Amino acid sequence: MQKIVDVGEAIRHPLRLKIIHLLSQREWHVYELAKTLNVSRQVLYLHLKRLEKAGFVEGDLRLEADDMGGKNFYRLKEFKVELGIDDLDEIF
């Protein structure tokens, strides 16, 4: 049941739906995605973590040879959201 709650919470926010849409097109660097969405990286990370918890996205930290720090990239995972009456009967 917790998985259903996590999925519902993940997709209920309009910004998270927009993130899912953008990530469906390609992988994004966090800085670039935040700039495109016109939000701070801190706000974006909060939304990405919620989507990650629900199994929609996954992140990848990459170390660049010319950069001492890492760069975070996110991509959409394959998913299908479906909930029927029979599923509810099984839960309750």
Mean pLDDT by 10 residues, the chain (92 residues): 82 93 96 97 96 94 77 91 77 72
In this prediction the pTM is 0.82
How far apart CA 86 and CA 92 sit, in angstroms, is: 10
How far apart CA 17 and CA 20 sit, in angstroms, is: 5
| pLDDT at 9 (0 to 100) | 85
| pLDDT at 70 (0 to 100) | 81
Strands 70-76 and 28-29 come out as: antiparallel
| pLDDT at 39 (0 to 100) | 98
| pLDDT at 15 (0 to 100) | 96
Q: What residue ranges define each of the domains in the chain, with the CATH number in brackets?
A: 2-91 (1.10.10.10)
| pLDDT at 79 (0 to 100) | 84
